[in-house]
Amino acid sequence: MKNKASKKKGKKEKEILNSNIPSWVLDEGNERETPYTDEELDLFVEGFIESNMDTNMLKDLLDKFGEEKARQIIKDGFISQDPNSQIKRKIN
């Protein structure tokens, strides 16, 4: 007889299989093993700024540090979240 935990796990697995999540998202074999390139990071930063332009957080960051430094701070945030990044930058 299956225990309660394995029944719950089986139900969750079925939900994932029946969801609209593409299979490549769930495939751990597709995880990247290299850090993001500077070009990719610049695209992330640009997208972040565009999508947060109306927020007080971004306005305050730009006012306090200026555009160039604010971009670097955001980029450093993405780098720190990348588990494959060997680069450790210090935000001044």
Count of domains observed in the chain: 1
Judge whether 75 and 41 are in contact, CB under 8 Å.
yes
Residue 28 lies in a domain: yes
Residue 89 lies in a domain: no
**92 pLDDT above the threshold of 70:** no
Q: What is the pLDDT of residues 28-49, one digit of tens each?
A: 666 777 888 999 999 999 999 9
The verdict on pTM exceeding 0.95 is no
**86 pLDDT above the threshold of 60:** yes
Judge whether 48 and 74 are in contact, CB under 8 Å.
yes
Three-state secondary structure call for residue 10 = helix
Residue 11 lies in a domain: yes
| Enclosing domain of residue 50 | 4-81
Q: What is the pLDDT of residue 91?
A: 42
Output Rg (C-alpha) for the chain, integer angstroms: 20
